[in-house]
Amino acid sequence: MLAALVLVAFFIKPNFLNTSWKSAASSHFSFTISHPPTWAQSEDPSLFYLVNTKSTGEFRAYITVSTLNPFGPNQDVKNTFDKIYNAPDNSEVSSPYQKTQETQSSEIKNKNAVVDNQPAVLISQDTIMPGPYYSQNIYVLKGDQVWIIRLIASTKEELLNNQQIFEQTVSTFKFAN
């Protein structure tokens, strides 16, 4: 699967620094992150996002950061994260929250990682309905909360074209506390 191959070489490169990049801070979510000057920042009470202003079409590639429970409102976050973290690399994982009649998606655990000294899992997701759209998701466990850093694009080609920027952006992510 192409999505699985995309992240085989993916790792969080520590201390990436590009002096032309902008630094963004979220007081609501308590983190900092750097991004290319061609990506625009926005935030609402449930989501922080960066949009690639150079993307064409009505659906632009974007990166989101949120702390919503990706596993469902009645799921034990830590235990569910641990099950995915302990699953074999390149295996299909199932999130009970995202597997519904209205959603058709495939999620592949690529590998474990570390983001700002916290355990993380890299997951590729292809969603047919609603969509289609493609994403690279990083679930980061900090305390009893899962943070989701996600690159979303309308095509696999656009996802691949933004992959390096996503990796570099994630490498700058720092929790404020």
C-alpha of 144 from chain center = 18
Positions in the chain whose pLDDT score sits under 50: 1-15, 96-97, 99
pTM for the model stands at 0.81
At the topology level, CATH places domain 2-9+37-175 in Protein Transport Mog1p; Chain A (3.40.1000)
Check residue 26 and give its pLDDT: 86
Check residue 57 and give its pLDDT: 65
Domain boundaries, the chain: 2-9+37-175
**Dihedral, CA of residue 111, residue 159, residue 32 and residue 174, to nearest 10:** 10
Q: How far is CA 16 from CA 11, 96, 151, 153, 166, in A?
A: 12, 35, 18, 23, 12
The CA distance from 28 to 177, in Å, is: 12
Cβ atoms 70, 95 nearer than 8 A:
yes
